[in-house]
Amino acid sequence: MKTLLNLEEIAMFLAAVVLFNVQSPYAWWLFPACLLLPDLSMVGYLAGNKVGAWVYNFFHHKGIALLVYLAGYTLRLDWLVFTGIILFAHSCMDRVFGYGLKYLTGFKDTHLGEIGPKAKRTA
């Protein structure tokens, strides 16, 4: 099952790459250059686990990414379309590597299991 879920995430990531190439007027190198930017949301953990998890999950939620993309598409704002694609692609990439949405108990506790050197994976 884990392999099937990873293949699904890879397919969605590739769909984001295709969407970027089709709908974005920006240079190709901006995609990899901006791909890790959503991880800046980890700064929320400076305010504690609850705030950190909320901020991190907001920027790593695929539904939010799709809403940002659709808003950009509807309003014809290329930068918002680009932002939605980056958020979506980043979230897919994170899931492939085992980084899921965070629980309030701490950064290492995700919906895909624990992350880190002493991790107990559930997914």
Query: What backbone phi and psi angles, to 5 degrees, belong to 71?
Result: -65, -45
pLDDT at residue 63, as a whole number: 98
Residue 64 has pLDDT above 70, yes or no: yes
Mean pLDDT (whole number) for 45-72: 97
pTM of this prediction? 0.91
pLDDT at residue 114, as a whole number: 84
- The tokens describing 17, both together, are 């790459």
pLDDT in tens, 27-55: 999 999 999 999 999 999 999 999 999 99
pLDDT at residue 104, as a whole number: 93
- Give the list of residues 6+ apart from residue 30 with CB closer than 8 angstroms, or none: 24, 82
Instruction: Report how far apart, in Å, the C-alpha atoms of 83 and of each of 20, 79, 107, 117, 118 are.
Output: 10, 6, 24, 32, 34
